[in-house]
Structure 1
Amino acid sequence: MNTNKIDLAAFLDYLRYERRYSPLTCENYQRDLDQFQLWLTEHKDSLDLNQVTEFVVRQWITKLHRQGLKSRSLQRKLSSLRSFYRYQIKHKRLSSNPAIDIRAPKEHKPLPQTLDIEMVSQLLDIKGDDFITARDRAILELFYSSGLRLAELAGIAVSDINADEALLRVTGKGNKTRVIPVGSKAMVAIQEYLQHRSLVNRLSLDTLFLSKQGKAISHRNIQLRISHWQMKQGIPQSVHPHKLRHSFASHLLQSSGDLRAVQEFLGHSDISSTQVYTHLDYQHLASVYDKAHPRARKKKK
């Protein structure tokens, strides 16, 4: 095994076992670093990772940008490189980080698309009491009730649900756990689905949402079921998990005006991220909050 492979393997082990990053996050880091190493092999005579300069990193990012890669993807790749080189510096294999001063080109962020409240009501007005219908109704209700990401919903276990308190334990990005309320209609839909679930759970799985074969339902299957109900319920625009998340955040913020609460629901570590899920002016809301709330005011020097 060459030096590059040894260093990369050590770095990925560090992410898995010391930083305790999720498998998906580790896969993303590995993919980014493998792509960079492949580019070095093809275009830089197999230049060693520890000999890379800022100019070389900038060349790679420029090439990806010209190929049409979005700013967010470029930012992630730069973040992967920065993290790897920080690890190398920490272990005294390098003295400087060649990716530290490079920023991805900015791009305009369009407002997220949402469904209006009437359209959501139409989508969720699902009739039927068979296993698939009951399961899909619970999935859709829970997406809109709690603003979950696709991976979060697919990963829910029956043991994560506190039916008495109508609360749900969710494991989000970076394996961070949060506890959020579940709306009454979503709770009813889940209870109805659980009656059917017991009949197909032949493998005694704790995973909440199962297929007819008793296996955990896949991310792709969830997406397809949402598209099925979008067409069946006569919704004129496409519906996907993140659009339901956008709709949840937008409707909750419009009704409450409480940006911080929406941040907690969505599992954002930084309130500025919550702006992506709203149609309202974040800077104005954050300014109002920080001026008005006694615990948010900055002390005068």
Structure 2
Amino acid sequence: MKITITQAHITAYLKECRIKKHLNAHTLKAYSIDMKQFLIYLETISYQIDKSSLENYIEGLHEKYPKPKTVKRKIATLVAFFNYLVFNDIIDNNPMNKINTKFKEPKLLPRIVDTTDLKRLFKQLYIDLEESKTNYQLKQAARNTALLELLFSTGIRVSELCNLRINNVNLKEGYVRIYGKGAKERILQIGNQQVMDSLNLYRKLFAEELNTSLYFFINKLGNRLSEQSVRLVINRYEHQLKINQHLTPHMFRHTFATMLLEEDVDIRYIQQILGHSSITTTQIYTHVSSCKQKEILINKNPRNTLQDE
């Protein structure tokens, strides 16, 4: 049995995601892209959907996108959309329920920043701060230092960093209030004095601009700093220091989590700090780094207990 899906249904669904579900801008953008892509497909089949047409669409996604994670997200968007239609009595059943959408996704280990490169990067941040010759250079260096210090020392997502509001930064008590995926709130302590100092310096230098801003990290126009701007800051240091790996903001999060695990921090605490709704997501960090693995297998190998005294 075929069901009719219109552009109005998709528009209403995206509106609900924006207003009622309180999804962040990044997720909303992804949903919008996914639904617009689905709408283009609907136009080719006269907006009539059945099991066969959905299977054809999903097959096309697999052909177009080499990354299983991308296909998985687009399928999840469709499932959520049809659930919305069922909930609002627009259709009786979710047609995706009758389609086998499960497929093996290769488990890729998180890419982390080499510790030596990380030390070089942070050292350069403070060199730039010390060697600033103009007020503009000083402010840019202070902002870059503060945002990268906070990004790494808390393991927050780049979207959470950029969406951080002034009233959610308490430098007196030393914590930030984060609203993550699904508008879930968590409070993270700033547990390092150098990080605190960098944030206080940034706030002092940008005091005038921050008086009229909702967001803590801003660009030269006084607007919210974009995720792309953070990527550009990181890439600039990557090239300046000739780091032999492409760095991304998310790698700072991966590195933070991996280093906590290597310090024997309970994975449940790491889950809470990262804002993961499921511990399954956090368990990807139990891959144990090669250095830690070497240390364990040399110093704590069970075979050692069988040695003759």
- The answer on 1:189 being equivalent to 2:195 is no
The one of 21, 38, 41 equivalent to 1:39 is 41
What's the offset of the Cα at 1:69?
4.0
Q: What is the TM-score when the length of structure 2 is the normalising length?
A: 0.81
Shift of 1:104: 4.4
Q: Per the alignment, in what secondary structure is the counterpart of residue 169 of structure 1?
A: strand
Q: Deviations over 1:145-167 (max 9, x none)?
A: 00111111111122211223211
Is residue 2:207 matched to residue 1:198?
yes
2:82 to 82, 85, 103: 85
Q: CA deviation at 1:278?
A: 4.7
Secondary structure of 1:186's match? helix
**Inter-partner Cα distance in structure 2 for 1:273 and 1:88:** 29
Question: What is the distance in 2 between the residues matched to 1:145 and 1:82?
Answer: 36
Aligned to 1:162: 170
Q: Which residue of 1 aligns with 2:113?
A: 115
Preserved contact between residue 227 and residue 239 of structure 1 (Cα < 8 Å):
yes
Match of 1:171 among 179, 200, 203: 179
CA distance in structure 1 between the partners assigned to 2:32 and 2:244 by the alignment? 39
Q: Which amino acid aligns with 1:117?
A: T
Measure how far apart 1:108 and its partner are. 0.9
1:137-286 counterparts in 2 under 5 A? 137-184=145-192, 185-199=194-208, 201=209, 204-280=212-288
Shift of 1:142: 0.9
The code of the aligned residue for 1:107 comes to: E
TM-score normalised by structure 1 residue count? 0.83
**TM-aligned CA deviation for residue 234 of structure 1:** 4.3
Retained in 2: the 8 A contact 1:61–1:104? no
Equivalenced residue count is 274
Could you say if the C-alpha distance between residues 179 and 118 of structure 1 is closer, same or farther in structure 2, counting changes exceeding 3 Å? same
Amino acid at match of 1:193: Y
State the 1:277 CA deviation.
4.2
Deviations 1:76-103 (A, max 9, x none): 2222222222222223332222112431
Q: Secondary structure at the match of 1:170?
A: strand
Instruction: Choose which of 29, 42, 53 in structure 2 pairs with 1:56.
Output: 53
Matching residue within 28, 31, 34 for 1:29 = 31
Matched letter for residue 116 of structure 1:
D
Q: Map Cα deviations across residues 90-144 of structure 1 (whole Å, 9 max, x no partner).
A: 2333222211243143221221111233332221112124111111111111111
> Separation in 2 of the partners of 1:278 and 1:230?
27
CA distance in 2, matches of 1:94, 1:211: 46
Q: 1:292: which partner in 2?
A: none
Correspondence for 1:290:
none
Could you tell me whether the CA contact under 8 Å between 2:162 and 2:227 is conserved in 1? yes
Q: Among the aligned pairs, what percent are the same residue?
A: 29
Cα contact 1:246–1:278 (8 A) shared by 2: no
Cα distance change of structure 1 residues 102 and 173 upon mapping to structure 2, 3 Å threshold: same
Where 2:177 maps in the other structure, the secondary structure is strand
Work out the CA distance in 2 between the residues paired with 1:211 and 1:121: 26
| Residues in 2 aligned to 1:93 and 1:73: alpha-carbon distance in whole angstroms | 28
Moved more, 73-82 or 10-19: 10-19
List alignment gaps of at least 5 residues for structure 1.
282-301
Task: Check whether the contact 1:123–1:235 (CA below 8 A) recurs between aligned residues.
Answer: no
Mapped partners of 1:82, 1:247: distance in 2: 33
Q: CA RMSD in A?
A: 2.3
The verdict on how the C-alpha distance between 1:63 and 1:270 changes in structure 2, with shifts beyond 3 A counting, is same
